[in-house]
A and B are shown apart, each in its own frame.
Chain A
Amino acid sequence: MPSHDVLIIGAGLAGQRAALAAAQSGATVGIVSKVHPVRSHSVAAAGGINAALNPEDTWESHAFDTVKGSDYLGDQDAIEIMCRAAPDEILWLEHAGVTFHRDETGHLGTRAFGGASAARTYYVADITGQAILHVLYEQLMKHHEQLDRYEEWFTTDLLQDDNGRCAGAICRNLRDGHLEVFNAKAVILASGGAGQVYEPTTNGLIVTGDGIAQAYRIGARLQDMEMVQYHPTTLAGNGILITEGARGEGAWLLNAKGERFMEKYAPNKLELASRDVVSRAEQTEINEGRGFPDGTVALDITKVPRHRTLEALREIVNIGRDFAGVDITREPIHIKPGDHYIMGGVKTDVHGQTNVAGLYAAGEVACVSVHGGNRLGANSLLDTLIFGRRSGEHAASLANAIPMPSIPPTRVKDTEASIAAIMRRESDGRRIAAIKQELGATMNEYVAVFRDADGLAKAHEIILRLKEEAPNAAIDDRGSVFNQDVIAWIELGYMLDVAETTVAAAEERKESRGAHTRTDFPGRNDGEWLKHIDVSMNGSDAPLVTYSPVTITRWEPEERTY
């Protein structure tokens, strides 16, 4: 039985950063990932990472932009920690080898990004996530003696000891299908968001809300689950992301009549308003008949000098060519708002601790909450790294102080038996893909940019039906080696839990704030709803909905305009 002081589940930016920090703090570390670490979806983060590192910039300005971007739902103590720590984190990355692009003087260069009052986004062309992820993996290889990597191991369950303390996890080695119990003094969930709950989404197929559901199932509280970000620029058919960096470099948004419509919605920041604002504006244009027949508006990147596009936006040149048949340096590309990110997640404190002892969460799986109702572009990479590191350090110090918790020996047998049962039974249920597709379409219709009570109720009803159907979904694969069918079946269960909690929270919040716009409750209502909605598991009953206060330190809520 593998045993580590700190077990990290997920090897994207948050997980790898946590692993390096925990190892550096002297803990023994295991890092488990269902894919090879460089396949983690952090790789797709394009535009950059925010930090007030320029001498003229201040962390207060960064923090205020983040608070305002969150529509005042972000916790200001956590935001302050993140923004204060950002400059040092950028320098740490730079020293570790990240190839940040420079300005003419050879210093770190920046680009403009949405919702920010200064150009404070550090970047590597438009492959910033990839560049950072690959460099962190270089560091994992460098420190291989302190860090055990378990690549292509799928986590099925989190384990607790008799006192309810999180004591490790059960993981399946995809290579041969065998289950292993990983014992640990602390577990850090860093397994990312849940984009696949929506269809289409900018997120990869692996982003199935595993960690959110795993934590929820052992009693961890989820927070802000209704806050789902629709990114303003995604391709119509397949949901592929066109980086906000394009607008940061100067691209315009145009409706079908050729009007630069953001002048109406955000006269000062225009295309660089917060994402919720831009997505709402686009959806309004489309709904009111000023979009193109394919339900889109246009992003005009020809406003950016061609040489600059080729140097700094090369990835979306490829995406335009391969996935839309458009040369973005020569013609506008059709885009629309699409599911991109979940601000909510497993509720943690500023050290990454959840309400389950020994269980931490960091990155998109977590909700600290630094993003509140709406995340600013280029703040997610920062969130993963800052709170990944803090979780790693805190978990290592916790591990130093406690003995290895014990795990009930029968647990692995239960999981083994349930997987064996799935593989033995007749395959006459609905196909996994069909259930997943219905879920995605439902969420994209009723739990999207604009929401109302009727739609949410419909979504809720469909999700409950899918939850009944899912356990009997058909399994074709009876093998042990890379059985992707069994994994997809387990992931479907995770996604349905996430969808149910998202809808429950969205039904609860009867106001419009950040990414959550209720057409039946327009306008923000600070009097009643300046609070977090928490969701926790309530046996087999409907999820339990409670509230927790928003931490406000120095920025009182005010009207939000861009």
Chain B
Amino acid sequence: MSEYTLRIRRFDPESGGAAYWDERSLEMGDKRSVLDAILELKDTQDGSIGIRCSCQQGICGSCGVRINGKPGLACNTHLDAAAARAHNGDENVITVEPMGNIPVIRDLIVDMDAVHWKKIRRVTPWLINKEPIPDREYIVPHDNMVDITQPMACIQCGACVSDCLSMEVDPGFIGPAALAKAYRFVGDPRDAEHLERLKDLSEDEHGLYDCTHCFNCVDACPKDVAPMNQIMRLRRIAGDDYHINDRNNGNRHEEAFVTLVRDYGLLHEAELLPRSYGGNSWFGKFHPDAGKELLTSLGTVIKAVLRGKISPKIAIFGHKLPSEDMKSLKQIYKVVDGRESRTELNLYITGYEDEDEIPEHAPHADDPTPLVVPDAGAPEAASSAEEPIEPAGESNESETP
């Protein structure tokens, strides 16, 4: 048992007053949850503290809040863990605020429908059945279904939306939860419209390429959904498998990025923009689109030079790595490019990242090496992009056993 002080962000829309901090203390076990503490206060001191909650076991997704600055579920955050990340080293002080990026209705209750669910509805969140619908089940590989269990495990709590930096800058961004939901269909071999979905999400300026890889959503997710990973997988399928070159130049930008790192060892910043807009080669900069983009970015470029962020020399010639390092780098590209299919990391399939020794008492612990997930209906070549083929090895058509 320890004494904890909870600082709860309160807001009563009927009072006409601003939001304020409500500070209360209580004694509780260190491994009890932040929700336990809030409910104890509600039960014994003030029944008007507003928080949505139900299951108390991290499955219903109701109690998304921000605890000492980090978004997550109140019900599966231990008090000691929450206190350990207190601001200013305040001992055993736990701040609980409503999630970010979503308007507050009252106290810790936010308007999920106005933001989160609206974005979910944006991604056509239902299966569009591949025809003909079989008499019995669709025959699909086991690994595909385990694979999409990861986005399926999303409990729609909104923690990832809360701290999405891209959404903070662009409230129109479809966002991590909804894009993970989109992968749940794009990764599902039973869905008929992978291409249409990917085109839609790529061409939307608030879509696939609006994510900036900040990892906040991966950290925030209480269910290991890793939304950013799902977004990256959508991009790889859109770009590599379906060859969708979106009007936002998102895919070209990624290709330019990869090529530049391969050729220069590090990112060649000055080349990145012209190649993203003008074409992925040294000649890209002579394309009119590249010129136009360079012109609009001129202010930023000048500022960067003036502040010493880039030197004219590096801008022109790029970075130079020692040849040993370049050799290792080429080797990495060779291995990755040489694979027959992409290896996708999925915790449901590969187990824990920190997989260590096999416990003695486990009779036959299986091999924990990553499995290769068959791409769900991804085309082999550009020519077949209009007609996704079946996953390797199995026919998806009706097949009555």
Interface residues of A (CB under 8 A from B): 35-36, 38-41, 43-44, 55, 91, 94-97, 99-109, 124-125, 127, 130-131, 134-135, 138-139, 141-142, 151, 175, 204-207, 238, 240-241, 302-303, 305-308, 310-311, 314-315, 318-319, 322-323, 325, 329-330, 431-434, 474-485, 488
Contacts and interface: CB of A to CB of B under 8 A. Distances in A.
Interface stretch (B130-138, B282-290, B318-326, B329-337): B130-138
Interface string B287-324: 00000000000000000000000000000000000000
Given A43-B60, A139-B126, A151-B113, A306 B106 contact: no
Contacts of A310: 347-348, 351-352
Contact of B56 (A108, A109, A238, A481): A238
19 contacts: A35-B54, A36-B62, A44-B59, A94-B138, A97-B126, A105-B139, A106-B142, A109-B142, A141-B120, A207-B54, A305-B366, A306-B365, A307-B351, A318-B58, A325-B31, A329-B362, A432-B43, A433-B42, A482-B109
A44 B55 contact: yes
Nearest to B45: A476
Interface stretch (B148-156, B160-168, B206-214, B243-251): B148-156
Given A109-B142, A305-B364, A314-B348, A91 B136 contact: yes
B27 interface: no
Contacts of A124: 145, 149, 152
A106 to B, nearest CB: 4
A421 B80 CA distance: 42
B47 A205 contact: no
A204 B61 CA distance: 12
Contacts of A94: 137-138
Contacts of A329: 359, 362
A125 B60 CA distance: 16
B370 to A, nearest CB: 12
Chain B: number of interface residues, binned into ranges? 35 or more
Contact of A306 (B46, B349, B359): B359
Nearest to B190: A97
A104 B142 contact: yes
A305 B142 contact: no
Contacts of B50: 482, 484
A303 B360 CA distance: 11
B302 to A, nearest CB: 48
Contact of B361 (A38, A302, A477): A302
A315 B126 contact: no
Nearest to B142: A102
B137 A99 contact: no
A236 B238 CA distance: 48
Contacts of B365: 305-307
Contact of B145 (A100, A104, A307): A100
B172 interface: no
Interface of B: 12-14, 31, 42-44, 46-48, 50, 52-62, 76, 78, 105-107, 109, 112-113, 120-121, 125-127, 129, 133, 136-142, 144-146, 148-149, 152-153, 155-156, 184, 188, 190, 223, 347-349, 351-352, 358-359, 361-368, 394, 401
Contacts of B56: 204-205, 238, 240
A39 B125 contact: no
A97 B189 CA distance: 11
Contacts of A91: 136-137
A507 B323 CA distance: 86
Given A41-B55, A102-B144, 14 more contacts: A35-B52, A43-B60, A43-B155, A124-B145, A125-B149, A127-B152, A305-B364, A306-B366, A307-B351, A315-B59, A475-B47, A476-B48, A484-B50, A485-B47
A307 B366 contact: yes
A133 to B, nearest CB: 10
A268 B368 CA distance: 33
B137 to A, nearest CB: 5
B127 A319 contact: no
A263 B12 CA distance: 59
Q: Which of B43, B112, B129, B349 has the most CB of A within 10 A?
A: B43
Contact of A102 (B14, B141, B358): B141
A348 B318 CA distance: 77
Contacts of B351: 306-307, 310-311
Contacts of B47: 431-432, 474-477, 484-485, 488
B106 A482 contact: yes
Given A43-B55, A43-B59, A306-B362, A141 B106 contact: no
A479 B60 contact: no
B58 A322 contact: yes
B57 A44 contact: yes
A484 B106 CA distance: 11
Contact of A39 (B13, B43, B60, B349): B60
A433 B57 CA distance: 20
Contacts of B137: 91, 94, 100, 107-108
The 10 A-B pairs at the shortest CB distance, nearest first, are namely A433-B43, A97-B127, A307-B366, A477-B48, A204-B54, A476-B47, A138-B126, A204-B55, A485-B47, A106-B139
Contacts of B146: 101, 125, 311
Given A103-B142, A107-B401, A482-B106, A303 B363 contact: yes
A302 B364 CA distance: 10
A240 B57 contact: yes
A319 B33 CA distance: 13
A131 B148 CA distance: 11
A479 B76 contact: no
Contacts of B139: 105-107
Nearest to B81: A322
A423 to B, nearest CB: 11
Nearest to B138: A94
B62 A131 contact: no
Contacts of B148: 99
A228 B139 CA distance: 39
Contacts of A479: 12, 14, 48, 106
Contacts of B366: 305-308
Nearest to A34: B54
A302 B60 contact: no
A487 to B, nearest CB: 10
Q: Which of B53, B60, B144, B348 has the most CB of A within 10 A?
A: B60
A511 to B, nearest CB: 35
A144 to B, nearest CB: 9
A238 B46 CA distance: 23
Contacts of B362: 302, 305-306, 329
Nearest to A321: B76
B84 to A, nearest CB: 15
B126 A142 contact: yes
Contacts of A315: 59
A102 B106 CA distance: 44
A340 to B, nearest CB: 13
Contacts of A141: 120-121, 125-126
Contacts of A431: 43-44, 47
Q: Which of A99, A138, A314, A483 has the most CB of B within 10 A?
A: A99
A302 B57 contact: no
A36 B145 CA distance: 26
Q: Which of B59, B138, B347, B358 has the most CB of A within 10 A?
A: B59
A206 B54 contact: yes
A305 B358 CA distance: 10
A381 B349 CA distance: 26
B113 A41 contact: no
Nearest to B156: A38
B384 to A, nearest CB: 22
Contacts of A314: 153, 348
A105 B50 CA distance: 50
Contacts of B54: 35, 39, 41, 204-207
B76 A306 contact: no
A349 to B, nearest CB: 31
A53 to B, nearest CB: 8
Contacts of A432: 43, 47
